[in-house]
Structure 1
Amino acid sequence: MISSPSNNGFSQQLDAIRQRIAVIRDRVLSQSNLSLSSEIHEEFQSALNVLESAQTVIQQAETSLDVAQLRASVREKEILLREIHHRVKNNLQVVSSLLDLQAMRTQDPTVQTILRNNQSRIRSIALVHERLSQSSQITRINLGEYIQSLTAILVRIYAIEPNRITFRTEIQGEIELSSNRAVPVGLILNELVSNALKHGLAGEFGEITVSLRITDAQITLIVSDSGERFPTDLDLMSPRSLGFQLINSLVQQIDGILTVSRIPNTMIAVRFSANDLQES
């Protein structure tokens, strides 16, 4: 009897099948002996078993090939997606540079402020794509690292003088977010820092602190400043300023909660779930 074929002895066993079938053929032709029927049955059954095992080996090889092809396809798509993120980042940086040039060409403080605000918003989005193009995970970014990088960019965009305003970041815990949630979080941070600079510390010495922590699957982003206290008559649900209208809209996108504390310093907090929201 012929044993089931292995990868190494597959061709040898197939050759043995052919040889045995040839012997059986010759014996059947030379004599008509009924005692051969049992032997013929066993030999053919053995041949069928070998062929069945061979078929299994072939199917496994095809499956392995399919898996290899799928992995190669995934790698190609990852490379393509990284390239897309990289190109989007580059395009957004071009737009940011154009806004910067326009801001330097105008002498109108109001226009400069508008251009700088939009420049910082675009840079916060561009930074997400930059992080994704460099991250080992092409769909998620480390929120703490992103916030530290973004605050450094905001310091440059708003030309914050280190001898006048101290900028601090406090990051607690490892937090990762999908890109579709990191973008609104970055824009929220941009608006809160911009608000602290324009209103809380307008022309004054002071400190701005950005803190991020996670507790019981809840992420809390806090921006506080040591400047003038937040207006007591500001209605967070129906704000008049464009900045807080945008903040409210972005907080709703991440299903978060916005709160303000005025004692001892102005502190604005955004709390939202660490778990990714289900897309509808």
Structure 2
Amino acid sequence: MQAAEWLRNRPIQAYAIALLAFLIALWLRFTVDHALPVGFPYLTFFPAVLLTAFFCGTGPGIVVAVLSVVSAWYWFIPPIASFELTSQSAIAVLFFVAILTADIFIIHVMHGALRRLVQEQARTAGLLEQQKTLFAELQHRTANNIAFISALLSMHKRKARGQADPVSVFDDATSRLESMARIHRRLYDPTNGDLQLDAYLAELVRDIFDSAGRERVDVSIVSRIEKLDVNRLITLSLVVSELATNALKHAFSNGTGRFAIELTPRGGSNVLRVRDNGPGFPHGFDPSGSDRLGFRVLYSFARNLNGTLDFRSDDGALVELVFPSNHQDKAA
């Protein structure tokens, strides 16, 4: 089968072999002509046509068939050395043509079925390999998620010590875990497979604000990066979700405001800028030294991306995250 496919994909060699097969069949027919009784004009031509059609393809098989019909008609069907047809010779020629046509058609259909079978086997093998990869990725993702949940709960546990209202600490933990679940649902939704990064972030942020009853917050998303690998996209989504939640608490208390995200490439890095039009950060405030859990969570996410965070006030709160890009990122 591999030899047949090799020849079928090389028409020059295929037609050359077809012509050679016909000449060999014609030579053999002349060689055994004296030993054959009358009535076997096609004896050596049948295998030549069938083998050529099988190994070289339908076109070369038809060429050999036509040459064989003409040769048998002229040299081996009475009246010899003539294309004159009697009723018996006409039946013999038509019978030969019908048999060759049926054989070539069957071989053509068989090769088409075998080709589709090979393609289906290759597709099945690809799907199996993809399934193995996805399963390994799922195991890796589950382990990472469990580690993240454990670290998050540990941070909330430390925060709960000495708190007058420990219930609020668990409310914060629940909110962050719900954000994580929301992100995973969006990323692994098959309908979102071709969703652009700006559209994905817009849906994520809009969902956070709508769930909190802040439908009047104006959301602006600009991304000059179309795609990020899923590992970093999850962490980036958690950063955006945390900043959007912080804006809900501190910038949009009256239910209105503006929230903007800009994601752009810069040299060998990607830059995420998130701003709101709230009161901004207090003068002299140093987030890196803050004991507030939200900032510790954000710094943890930034470390996962090998990035750096910068917090400042600029007509509201402005947070800038710079993290390395890689070859899988796709700029718009």
Q: TM-score, normalised by structure 1?
A: 0.59
Read off the aligned partner of 1:263 and give its amino acid letter. Answer: D
1:128 correspondence with 2:187: yes
Over aligned residue pairs, what C-alpha RMSD do you find? 4.6
Which residue of the other structure, out of 202, 205, 217, is the alignment partner of 1:148?
A: 202
Equivalent pair of 2:196/2:226 in contact (CA under 8 Å): yes
Deviation sequence 1:202-246 (CA, Å, 0-9, x none): x3455241222324454332222233332434342x552332222
Which residue of the other structure, out of 170, 173, 192, is the alignment partner of 2:221?
A: 170
- For structure 2, list consecutive stretches of 5 or more residues without a partner in the other structure: 1-11, 36-50, 58-110, 142-166
Q: Which residue is 1:20 aligned to?
A: 27
1:230 correspondence with 2:281: yes
1:17 partner SS: helix
Equivalent pair of 1:219/1:274 in contact (CA under 8 Å): yes
Equivalent pair of 2:206/2:219 in contact (CA under 8 Å): no
**What pairs up with 1:46-65 in 2 under 5 angstroms?**
none
1:227 partner SS: coil
Bigger helix fraction: 2
Question: 1: distance between equivalents of 2:29 and 2:256?
Answer: 97
Q: Which residue is 1:6 aligned to?
A: 15
Equivalent pair of 2:235/2:304 in contact (CA under 8 Å): yes
Relative contact order: is structure 1 or structure 2 higher (C-alpha 8 Å, sep ≥ 6)?
Answer: 1
Equivalent pair of 1:258/1:268 in contact (CA under 8 Å): yes
Question: 2: distance between equivalents of 1:81 and 1:134?
Answer: 20
**What pairs up with 1:257-268 in 2 under 5 angstroms?**
257-268=308-319
Equivalent pair of 1:142/1:177 in contact (CA under 8 Å): no
Q: Which residue is 2:242 aligned to?
A: 191
Q: Which residue is 2:104 aligned to?
A: none
| 1:126 positional shift | 1.7
| 1:70 positional shift | 2.9
Q: Which residue is 2:263 aligned to?
A: 213
Which residue of the other structure, out of 297, 301, 315, is the alignment partner of 1:250?
A: 301
1:159 correspondence with 2:159: no
**When the two structures are aligned, how many residues end up with a matched partner?**
221
Read off the aligned partner of 2:280 and give its amino acid letter. Answer: R
Equivalent pair of 1:170/1:212 in contact (CA under 8 Å): yes
Equivalent pair of 2:272/2:322 in contact (CA under 8 Å): yes
Read off the aligned partner of 2:173 and give its amino acid letter. Answer: I
| 1:154 positional shift | 0.5
Read off the aligned partner of 1:152 and give its amino acid letter. Answer: R
Question: 1: distance between equivalents of 2:245 and 2:14?
Answer: 72
Q: Which residue is 2:69 aligned to?
A: none
| 1:186 positional shift | 0.5
1:175 partner SS: strand
Which residue of the other structure, out of 103, 113, 116, is the alignment partner of 2:175?
A: 116
Read off the aligned partner of 2:27 and give its amino acid letter. Answer: R
2:315 partner SS: coil
Equivalent pair of 1:207/1:225 in contact (CA under 8 Å): yes
| 1:188 positional shift | 0.6
Distance 1:69-1:75 versus aligned 2 partners, 3 A rule: same
Q: Which residue is 1:43 aligned to?
A: none
Equivalent pair of 1:210/1:221 in contact (CA under 8 Å): no
Q: Report the identity percentage.
A: 17
Question: 2: distance between equivalents of 1:242 and 1:68?
Answer: 53
Read off the aligned partner of 1:122 and give its amino acid letter. Answer: A
- For structure 1, list consecutive stretches of 5 or more residues without a partner in the other structure: 30-50, 89-107
1:219 partner SS: strand
Question: 2: distance between equivalents of 1:136 and 1:229?
Answer: 36
| 1:184 positional shift | 0.7
Distance 1:147-1:24 versus aligned 2 partners, 3 A rule: same
Q: Which residue is 1:92 aligned to?
A: none
Q: TM-score, normalised by structure 2?
A: 0.51
Distance 1:117-1:55 versus aligned 2 partners, 3 A rule: same
Deviation sequence 1:30-70 (CA, Å, 0-9, x none): xxxxxxxxxxxxxxxxxxxxx99x8687xxx8999756643
